[in-house]
Amino acid sequence: MGAAPAPVAGGGDLGFDGAAAPAAPAGGGFGGGGVEQTPITLQLSNVPLVEALRYTLALANLKYKVEPNAVLVVPLSTPDKELYTNIYVVPPNFLTASGGAGGGGGGGAGPVDPFAAAPDAGGGAGPVARNSAKDVLESYGIVFGTGSSATFNAQTSQLIVRQTQDQMELVEAVIESIKGGSQKQIFITSKFVEIGEEVGKELGFDWLLGPFNIGTAPKVFAGGGTQGNQGALDNSNYSFVQPGASSPVGSNPLTAGLRSGANALDGDSIDSLIGSAAGDIQDGNLTAPAIFGIAGVFTDPQFQVMIRALNQKKGVDLLSAPSVLARSGQRAKIEVIREFIYPTEYDPPEIPNQVGGGTTLGGGGGGVSSFPVTPATPAAFETRNTGVTLEVDPVIGGDEFTIDLNLSPEVVEFEGFINYGSPINSASIDPLTGQGTTIQLTENRIEMPIFSTRKVTTQVTIWDGQTVALGGLIREDVQDVQDKVPLLGDLPLLGRLFRNDVELHLKRNLTVFVSAKLVDPAGMDFRRPVNTNP
């Protein structure tokens, strides 16, 4: 039903086809029956008859009813029980045009909400569902009686309404109001800022002390200790080495029990399995480097002290700023990802029952050194998206100044592999010595990936053009090691020469910023300032 020009009050005629018509008599309206008889004067041109009738009855506070054989003009108070079915083409965001949120089923056939959160294999709550067609119309004051219903078809953007004539007119007014605001779109920009910092500090002293006489007794000697289970001294860790000897000056350690470098730091249980322990900041060196050394070569006793000092700092700043344009009520998804394919199932290893000329595996009598073995091989694979994902469901508020956002940002990172396999070994006899030995046939690695996930699900309301920060996902690990030599490390002032202090601080902070602004179909700001010439 096309739009018609508005009636112009005044004049002396009512024209439907361009011809003049006499004004309605003062005493004649549309009959008695308690209806106030009011003179009506309209001037219309080239309008359908039904529109002319509607304008006329609106001015007279009347309405019409369509019967099979007649069109009846009745007062507004006359109840209308006849139901009609109309189909309207509405914007795709019709279900969220009222700005409300929540569940609720529709009338009649019970429409399926096309904006409901889809099942997600990764788990976690996503943006919430929106109202049904009936809920939207009821929020505008439409009354649904017995037999009336409203159904929204998301595929065709059609609204099917079964209502009385008077309520149908209100439905049309609601649809026109919603269509008037459907040209606004929402430009969403998200910024993922991740700040990482690693700070490692160490200051300690490594002493070597050779044998020496105690007092004047020629047969009583003292000296440094031993390395314990740490193995022999590494000459590369000391500046002074005795000529022609395989040990450094001093030879006997005094502070071998003090931890240094990566030996002083421990990763958590998972980090230690995947090889990303906190001690990686020292690049895998077990002992911190020495910056200065002092040695007594021709003294009694010989001694050597190495000053081990370290001050490392590493910072990582990552920024990802994806953006997307969406209509009100339609979910948008931003992905800055990398597909990671990894095995999920392995075929078991294959080991032959017999080797060579009938020698049975494990017989131990043929000096077998090796034979072909097939390790566990991947049989099935899956794909996991790693990177940044943002799901957002924007809705323009009723005041057209606020924007409701259902946000679900997620950051997935690949940490490493954990080996669940075990080596396959075989017993053998060394043909030279005749001794039994064990050889490794294959590592038989069965590796599975480890992923770290950081996710936030929230609902916020912001002003048009403003930015909101979704908190900070902060992680901080602190390790503080203080080792000292008993007794000597407790001496005032001099005790510092027999202590070793190690500190490691790991900080990671992920902050998500989301900004939203209203734009027109041309991509320009909906409330852009108007340029005025001075």
Same domain, yes or no, for 87 and 61? no
395 found inside a domain: no
Contact 190, 389 (CB under 8 A): no
Contact 21, 11 (CB under 8 A): no
Phi/psi class of residue 517: alpha, beta or left (left: φ > 0; alpha: ψ in -120 to 50)?
A: beta
* Cα-Cα-Cα-Cα dihedral sign, residues 109, 113, 118, 119: negative
Total count of domains within the chain = 3
71 found inside a domain: yes
Same domain, yes or no, for 87 and 141? yes
Same domain, yes or no, for 54 and 135? no
Same domain, yes or no, for 72 and 113? no
Residue 236 lies in domain = 203-314
Contact 346, 422 (CB under 8 A): no
**What's the confidence (pLDDT) of residue 363?**
46
Same domain, yes or no, for 95 and 31? no
Same domain, yes or no, for 169 and 210? no
Burial of 40 (0-12, 13-18, 19+ CB in 10 A): middle
| CA 111 – CA 383 distance, rounded (Å) | 34
Same domain, yes or no, for 73 and 90? no
**What's the confidence (pLDDT) of residue 348?**
92
Q: Which H helix or E strand runs over 497?
A: none
Residue 260 identity (one-letter amino acid): S
Same domain, yes or no, for 114 and 63? no
Same domain, yes or no, for 13 and 62? yes
Q: What is the pTM of this model?
A: 0.53
Q: Mean pLDDT per 10-residue run, the chain (534 residues)?
A: 44 40 42 58 81 82 78 77 84 65 38 46 48 86 88 87 85 78 80 89 90 78 78 76 79 84 71 54 62 87 89 86 86 91 93 59 48 88 93 86 90 90 84 80 90 88 89 82 90 91 89 88 67 42
- The strand pairing partners of 385, in sequence order, are 339
**What's the confidence (pLDDT) of residue 301?**
86
**What's the confidence (pLDDT) of residue 31?**
44
408 found inside a domain: no
Task: Give the CA dihedral 119, 123, 124, 125, nearest 10 degrees.
Answer: 10
Same domain, yes or no, for 223 and 297? yes
410 found inside a domain: no
270 found inside a domain: yes
Q: Which H helix or E strand runs over 53?
A: helix 49-59
Domain boundary among 78, 94, 128: 78
Query: Which of 481, 480, 503 minimizes the C-alpha distance to 199?
Result: 503
Contact 35, 76 (CB under 8 A): no
Q: Pairing state of beta strands 467-484 and 185-209?
A: unpaired
| CA 136 – CA 132 distance, rounded (Å) | 6
189 found inside a domain: no
DSSP 82: -
Same domain, yes or no, for 215 and 270? yes
**What's the confidence (pLDDT) of residue 156?**
82
Domain boundary among 281, 299, 314: 314
Contacts of 173 (CB under 8 A, 6+ apart): none
Same domain, yes or no, for 208 and 301? yes
Assign 170 to helix, strand or coil.
Answer: helix
**What's the confidence (pLDDT) of residue 77?**
72
pLDDT in tens, 357-415: 444 444 444 444 556 888 999 999 999 999 989 899 999 887 888 999 998 888 899 98
5 found inside a domain: yes
DSSP 432: T
| CA 149 – CA 165 distance, rounded (Å) | 13
What the block records as the tokens of 440 is 């490794």
431 found inside a domain: no
Domain boundary among 314, 330, 350: 314
Contact 223, 213 (CB under 8 A): no
Assign 108 to helix, strand or coil.
Answer: coil
**What's the confidence (pLDDT) of residue 269?**
64
